Amino acid sequence: MNLQLIGSITNGGNIRQEFQKYSWTKYFEMKDTINNKWLLFIVFFTCIPASQASELNFSIKENSELIVTSPSGNKAFKVNIYINGYNVNCIGDKVILWGRTKKINENNPQDSRIVLIDLKKEQTIKESNFSKSIFEVDYLSGQGTAYIGTGTGYLLDIDTGAVSNVNTANDFSDNRLFESCEKNKSWYFNRYNE
């Protein structure tokens, strides 16, 4: 028990009142300490993913393997395409690779494919084929969608991998529609723009 509480009881104080006063004081001190610890916990753990994401570096190995380098090591994603490009979103949790398929379709020699990868889960979400070459992929700002630059264009849901045709009324030449952030140079590669 606290010496302050014992002192006031021995000086003629009411035991019950003094203990209740002591209890409530300690409760509020403890509550403030717990709230501060939770606040520190929340701040600390919500900041980690952003700092970890910014430490990621990307490279291509043997034209069909994406290497993700982080402070904890390397992760390799082998894909069934010859990589022509890739783009990591601003958050750093998704990457879309595009290129031509390794196995040529004789009926359509321009077969192209995209590979959508979830970097947090370290797994491929979906692969989708296209009949025309893909020249660029870019993320739409705040929509969880990416624009695939092939033919008249397609939209890719970056959570599910669902692909839909672009409405011809949409004008994707306006750069303000797309994500804008400071990215590590290795987060974007396009063989056609070298």
In one-letter notation, the amino acid at residue 91 is: I
For every one of its 194 residues, what pLDDT tens digit does the chain have, with 9 covering 90 and above? 444 544 444 455 555 555 455 454 454 454 455 454 443 333 333 333 444 567 899 999 999 999 999 999 999 999 999 999 999 999 999 999 999 988 877 776 668 999 999 999 999 999 999 988 899 999 999 889 999 998 888 999 999 999 999 877 677 888 889 999 999 999 999 998 86
d(CA 112, CA 151): 12
Can you read off the two tokens belonging to residue 188? 């974007």
